[in-house]
Amino acid sequence: DGAGKTTTLRMLAGVLRPSSGSALIHGVDVASDPEGAKPFIAYMSQQFGLYADLTVLENIHFYADLYRVPRTQRPARLERLFAFSNLGPFGDRLAGNLSGGMKQKLSLCCALIHHPRVLLLDEPTFGVDPISRRDLWLILHEMVAEGVTVVVSTPYLDEAERCDRVVFLREGRVLA
């Protein structure tokens, strides 16, 4: 904790401006043009950031609207998202009434609705039960197999072992 993981992801997502340096996402420098990079990025924060008073479907449609996903493409995308998240039967349930693991899956569905090129996940399994944690990693491996770049922050070394590349941070600096 306190190593700079969340701050780094927020800078990559264009939410925070870095004090120096640059990062290219799909050829766009997020430091100088954060808005230009946002269509290629999905950012899932550590805390549940969706609307608790909206249903599962309403949250997903809200994000589809934000990312300007054409209505004609939504049924197929929803079918795919529900296939891997198992949230289909809960479409009418308020997001605030979901379990922790289901909330994380809903957050991931909202992040993936626009088919991002880069998925930024800030401790996505924090507070999630072991089965949902395993399911989430299976989903992430599917995304990687489809060409999505996934950047995950985690304090758990067993999760870091699942990654192709690992960076250790301390006070915002790369240790290894």
Express as a percent the part of the chain with pLDDT over 90.
Answer: 57
The residue written with tokens 């088919």 in the block is 115
In tens, the pLDDT along 117-153 reads 999 999 988 877 788 788 888 888 988 998 999 999 9
User: How many helices (DSSP H) and strands (DSSP E) are in the chain?
Assistant: 7, 7
- From first to last of its 176 residues, the chain has per-residue pLDDT tens of 788 899 999 999 999 998 888 899 989 999 999 999 988 999 998 877 889 999 999 999 999 999 899 999 999 999 988 987 889 999 999 999 998 888 988 998 999 899 899 999 999 888 777 887 888 888 889 889 989 999 999 988 999 999 999 999 998 889 99
Residue from 172, 175, 176 nearest 20 by CA: 172
Provide the 3-class DSSP secondary structure of residue 99. coil
What is the Cα–Cα distance from 18 to 25, expressed in whole angstroms?
Answer: 15
Say if pTM beats, i.e. exceeds, 0.75.
yes
Count the helix, strand and coil residues of the chain and give each as a percent rounded to the nearest 5.
Answer: 45, 15, 45
